[in-house]
């Protein structure tokens, strides 16, 4: 689609994800789409890379080992307020999506997402109310997931406390969290 671009005028993009394999694949895909990709596998490495050369775009995975990718957002924006940050996560929930946007991310996508979706999300304009309203109610499982994520956040990730508030067994909550969010 795009005209041939020399390395000079490519947009710089910082990819942060602790899954090395996923990172490699996505890096290649994004490079093919005209970005100059730098990747980091930890929050700290990401901070360093950004400090050396603040990127125009960033794609951040939420569940990095250690601290949440959420905390990375203000850090990146502090270095360069114009950075367009996309949050990408396998454990998507409305609660973290809301938080990410409030912190300044331009978009939020659940994994799996392909490179085209990612590029589109990075480019998305803030003002356009293009989101169509879903016609179906959430499935009970999905609603449960959303609720759990919300309460878990309110409890700062404390699983025991969350289980208590939710009236479910701690072991059960652990098992539910280990799974992926349900689709539909």
Per-residue contact flags (x/-) with DNA for residues 147 to 176, judged by CB under 7 A:
----------xxxxx------xxxxx-xxx
Q: Provide the 10 A C-beta neighbour count for residue 70.
A: 20
Largest CA distance in the chain: 58
CB of 140 to a second copy, least distance (A): 5
**112 preceded by cis ω (within 30°)?**
yes
Q: Which does 5 bind (CB under 5 to 8 A by kind): DNA, a second copy, none?
A: none
Helix boundaries (H) for 53-184: 72-79, 94-103, 115-123, 140-154, 159-166, 170-178
Query: Binding-site residue total for DNA (CB under 7 A)?
Result: 14
Q: Provide the 10 A C-beta neighbour count for residue 133.
A: 4
Compute CA 10 distance to the chain's CA centroid, rounded to the nearest angstrom. Answer: 23
Q: Which does 39 bind (CB under 5 to 8 A by kind): a second copy, DNA, none?
A: none
> SS3 of 26, please?
helix
What are the residues whose beta carbons fall under 8 Å from the beta carbon of 29, sequence distance 6 or more?
Answer: 114, 115
CB of 25 to DNA, least distance (A): 25
Single out the residue of 11, 147, 159, 177 in contact with a second copy (rule: CB under 8 A).
147
- Residue 102 contacts a second copy per CB under 8 A: yes
- Residue 177 contacts a second copy per CB under 8 A: no
- Residue 47 contacts a second copy per CB under 8 A: no
Residues 46-105 that bind DNA (CB under 7 A): none
Strands 107-110 and 84-89: parallel
Q: Closer to a second copy by CB, 31 or 144: give it.
A: 144
Q: Closer to a second copy by CB, 21 or 131: give it.
A: 131
Residue among 35, 41, 36, 48 at smallest CA distance from 20: 41
Tell me which residues touch a second copy (CB under 8 A): 62-63, 68, 70-71, 89-99, 101-103, 107-110, 126-144, 146-148, 150-151, 154, 156, 165-168, 182, 184
Query: Contact residues for DNA (CB under 7 A)?
Result: 157-161, 168-172, 174-176, 178
């Amino acid at each position: 689609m795009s005209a041939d671009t020399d390395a000079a005028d490519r947009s710089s993009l910082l990819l942060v994800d602790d899954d090395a394999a996923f990172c490699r694949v996505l890096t290649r895909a994004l490079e093919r789409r005209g970005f100059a990709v730098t990747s980091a596998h930890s929050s700290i490495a990401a901070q360093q890379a950004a400090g050396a050369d603040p990127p125009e775009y960033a794609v951040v995975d939420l569940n990095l080992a250690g601290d949440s990718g959420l905390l990375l957002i203000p850090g990146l924006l502090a270095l360069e307020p114009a950075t367009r940050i996309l949050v990408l996560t396998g454990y998507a929930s409305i609660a973290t999506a809301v938080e990410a946007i409030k912190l300044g991310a331009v978009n939020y996508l659940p994994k799996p997402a392909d490179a085209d979706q990612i590029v589109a999300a990075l480019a998305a304009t803030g003002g356009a109310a293009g989101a169509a309203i879903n016609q179906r109610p959430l499935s009970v499982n999905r609603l449960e997931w959303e609720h759990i994520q919300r309460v878990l956040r309110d409890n700062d990730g404390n699983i025991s406390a969350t289980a208590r508030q939710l009236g479910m067994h701690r072991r059960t909550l652990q098992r539910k969290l280990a799974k992926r969010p349900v689709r539909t």
